[in-house]
Amino acid sequence: MRLVLLGAPGCGKGTQGQLLAEQYRIPEISTGDLLRKAVAAGTPLGKAAKAVMDAGKLVSDEIVMGVIRERMQQPDTRQGFILDGFPRNLAQAEQLDELFEELGRPIDLAVLIEVEVDSILQRLLGRRTCVSCGASYNMFYAPPRMDDSCDECGGRLKRRSDDNEETIGNRLRIYETQTLPVVERYREQGRLRVIQGSGEIQDVFRALSKAVEEVRATLGSRDRSAAIRRAVARKQNTARGGSAAKAGGSGKAAKKAAAAPAAGKKKAAKKKVQAKKKVQAKKKTAGKKAAVSRKKAVAGKKVAKKKITKKKVSAKKVAKKKTVTKRKATARKAPVKKKAASKKKAAKKAARKKAAKKKPARKR
Ligand code: AMP
């Protein structure tokens, strides 16, 4: 059973927690007690915490989480525990959930012990504790037979340094502003039970035990069904192992069959990953091909353009050449033409001369 006791300072968490611890044989872990021990031992942690505690303020989450983590390592917490005075704020509650998730030990139940403010003041101001055996008294309604000494062992009775009016005011304010949201958190999660803390210690304890027992019963059936599920799974695994042994006969085959579901799952996951990789590779090569063909197309276009401009240039060149050769040819033909013309002219002249010579003869 893993339990968190919540309530204002002086509501009786410590007293009820100890009674529950005896009943269920699990440790009661009070962060206040752990811190007070560190203060008394004068450890660095205790020195850091003392002034804060005397002022009725909260010690840093880091310090308190460290204390809790260390305590949870101890083997007596394996069967369960009762947390008293922790968590005190939302940050601690969240970190506690994370820690228990890590350890695989979630909180089963949170119980809020409700008490009127008036009786809280009476409880805290009258509270005395024996320094030798830890027995508690109240000077108003459960005083010792002799002032300042323990009825059980005669030890000295001491008042806590933070049980004075000013510090109590601070502690109550912090409870209202920082711890009540934690109560709401457990309520919302459906893990909260509320009991009345006014009245006789044994009456309160009866109410508390009843709440715990009810939850334990549901946890019992939950644990039982979990155990049944585990047993069925074990049987199925053995059956698979058995059939493999029948088929193959060897111990190795049986082991293989027992590991089959896990191996099957692994194989399927591997196949999935491989298929994904294949698709990705295909996509990659397709993309590359497309890019290459795009490049080729662009290059082809460029080449074609070049070819066209080349053709144009060569056509122009050819045309130019043609006109040049034409001109050259006409230039070459020109003197021949001139020669022919002058020859023609000379022939005409000669003919005219001949005719002139012939004419006078005819007159005669
Ligand atoms: P308690 O004995 O629970 O009343 O605690 C006494 C003082 O110890 C508180 O007033 C705080 O200064 C300190 N303390 C105890 N538990 C915590 C906690 N969970 N977080 C911070 N401070 C704490």
Enumerate residues 6+ apart whose C-beta is below 8 A from 96. 68, 86, 87, 107
Q: Are residues 339 and 204 in the same domain?
A: no
Buried b (16+ CB within 10 A) or exposed e, 40-59: eeeeebbeebbeebeebebb
Cα(30) to ligand 1 centroid in Å equals 9
In this structure, are 201 and 83 located in the same domain?
A: yes
**Would the CA dihedral through 63, 69, 75, 80 be positive or negative?**
positive
- pTM for this structure? 0.63
Candidate list 2, 50, 123, 127, residue with the active-site label: 127
Q: CA separation (Å) from 133 to 28, 86, 149, 151, 319?
A: 17, 24, 11, 10, 125
- CB of residue 31 inside a 6 A radius of ligand 1: yes
- Cα separation, 276 vs 264, in Å, equals 18
In this prediction, residue 344 carries a pLDDT of 77
State mean pLDDT over 131-139: 93
Same domain, 88 and 203: yes
Best residue among 52, 58, 92, 120 to mutate for probing ligand 1, ranked by most atoms within 8 Å of CB: 58
Instruction: Give the span between the Cα atoms of 153 and 180, in whole angstroms.
Output: 38
Q: Is 85 in the pocket of ligand 1 (CB under 6 A)?
A: yes
Write the pLDDT tens digit of every residue in 217-237: 888 666 666 666 767 777 777
Phi and psi dihedrals of 112, rounded to 5?
-100, 125
Higher pLDDT, 193 or 222: 193
User: Within a 13 Å sphere around the CA of 296, how many CA atoms are in the beta-carbon half?
Assistant: 6
Given the residues 160, 187, 216, 240, the one annotated as active site: 160
- Identify whether 13 is a catalytic site residue: yes
- The more confidently predicted of residues 130 and 350 is 130
Does residue 283 sit within a domain?
A: no
Q: What is the pLDDT of residues 259-313, one digit of tens each?
A: 444 455 556 667 777 777 776 776 666 656 666 556 665 555 555 555 555 555 5
160 is catalytic: yes
Residues 61 and 173 in one domain: yes
Our count of domains for the chain comes to 2
Residues 49 and 188 in one domain: yes
The answer to whether residue 127 is catalytic is: yes
Shortest CA distance to 167 belongs to which of 34, 58, 48?
58
Residues 211 and 111: beta-carbon distance below 8 Å:
yes
Q: Within 10 A of 138 (CB to CB), how many other CB atoms are there?
A: 15
Q: Choose one of 228, 261, 282: the last residue of a domain.
A: 228
In a domain, 222, yes or no: yes
Domain limit, last residue, from 203, 228, 253: 228
| Within-domain flag for 168 | yes
Amino acid at the residue 323: T
| Cα gap 216→1, rounded to integer Å | 7
The active-site residue out of 2, 36, 50, 88 is: 88
pLDDT digits (tens, 9 = 90+) for 22-80: 999 999 999 999 999 999 999 999 999 999 999 999 999 999 999 999 999 999 999 99
Q: Does one domain contain both 214 and 331?
A: no
Ligand 1 pocket check for 257: Cβ under 6 Å: no
Q: Which of 182, 209, 228 is the last residue of a domain?
A: 228
* The ligand 1 atom nearest the CA atom of 53: 12
210 and 329 co-located in one domain: no
Domain contains 252: no
171 is catalytic: yes
**Angle between the N-to-C axes of helices 260-363 and 201-248, in degrees from 0 to 180, rounded to the nearest 10:** 70
Q: Which residues contact 140 (CB under 8 A, 6 or more apart)?
A: 122, 125, 126
Instruction: Specify the ligand 1 atom closest to the Cα of 60.
Output: 21
**Continuous H helices in the chain:** 13-24, 31-41, 44-54, 61-72, 90-103, 117-126, 165-174, 180-188, 201-248, 251-258, 260-363
For residue 341, being part of any structural domain is answered with yes
- Say if 256 falls within a structural domain: no
CB-CB contact of 103 with 68 (8 Å)? no
pLDDT for the residue numbered 361:
41
What's the pLDDT tens digit per position in 340-356? 667 777 778 787 777 76
Instruction: Tell me which residue range forms the domain holding 342.
Output: 322-364
Q: What 3-state class would DSSP assign to 181?
A: helix
Contact in structure between 11 and 114 (CB atoms under 8 Å)? yes
The average confidence (pLDDT) of the chain is 81
Q: Cα(24)–Cα(263) distance, rounded to whole angstroms?
A: 42
If asked whether residues 44 and 156 sit together in one domain, one would say: yes
